[in-house]
Amino acid sequence: MNGNPAYTPRGRYFEDFSVGEVMITGRRTVTATDIVNFACLSGDFNDIHANHEYARQSPFGEPIAHAPLVFAVAAGLNYASGVNDGTLIAVLGIDKWRMKTAVKGGDTIHVETTVLSKRESGSRPDAGIVTFARRFVNQRGETAQEMEITILYRRKAPDMRP
């Protein structure tokens, strides 16, 4: 919370998620500048990301985005959707993270999230745990990355719960 008593989170609470529900974010184009900036930020100047001559000879034919860069863009898309704003407490785990196809400068991605399961927190009555399957999908409908992510969310006040 931001300390403002009038503040109302726009995010979804634990009770607002339904198993099987699918949510789709907006889209964002990953640029060559994003790839260079991420290399500078992370210090990862691996040739497949930063050396055009090397990458031209690779199966991709050009530099590709770092896997964590794609994850970071997807996190931004999820934030922009509003689903986590003010209600996400913590990411508890990421499992089965797989890279399926490369993301290149000019590819446009979005996130498709399916609610896999939810349960009350055993140690926090004010929180619940939701596990999602996430796919980061490019403009051709190809899955670039996929994972399962488990997140701790705020619960609604007891008098507001179903």
Q: Domain holding 148: CATH number?
A: 3.10.129.10
Report the DSSP pairing between strands 127-137 and 108-120: antiparallel
Is residue 3 within 8 Å of 86, Cβ to Cβ? no
More confident residue, 158 or 94: 94
Distance CA 107, CA 30 (A): 6
In a domain, 132, yes or no: yes
In a domain, 45, yes or no: no
- Taking alpha carbons only, the member of 72, 81, 79 closest to residue 35 is 72
How many angstroms separate the first and last alpha carbons of the chain?
23
Q: What is the pLDDT of residue 10?
A: 86
Task: Give me 46's structure tokens.
Answer: 């691996």
Whether the pLDDT of residue 7 is over 80: the answer is: no
The region of weakest confidence among 9-13, 48-52, 110-114 is 9-13
For the chain, how many structural domains are there in total? 1
Distance CA 133, CA 124 (A): 24
Q: What is the pLDDT of residue 4?
A: 60
| pLDDT per position as a tens digit, 116-151 | 999 999 899 999 999 999 999 999 999 999 999 999
Whether the pLDDT of residue 2 is over 60: the answer is: no
Task: Give me 116's structure tokens.
Answer: 């896999």
In a domain, 106, yes or no: yes
Q: What is the pLDDT of residue 158?
A: 74
In a domain, 127, yes or no: yes
Structural domain that includes position 150: 14-30+69-160
In a domain, 21, yes or no: yes
Bridge partners of 91, per DSSP, are 151
The region of weakest confidence among 4-18, 34-48, 75-89, 94-108 is 4-18
Collapse the DSSP code of 72 into the 3-class scheme (helix H, G, I; strand E, B; otherwise coil) and give the result. Answer: helix
User: Binning pLDDT at 50, 70 and 90, where does residue 8 land?
Assistant: confident
In a domain, 9, yes or no: no
- Taking alpha carbons only, the member of 29, 19, 16 closest to residue 133 is 19
In a domain, 125, yes or no: yes
In a domain, 41, yes or no: no
Beta carbons within 8 Å of 69's beta carbon, 6+ residues apart: 30, 34, 35, 38, 103
| pLDDT per position as a tens digit, 36-84 | 999 999 999 999 999 999 999 999 999 999 999 999 999 999 999 999 9
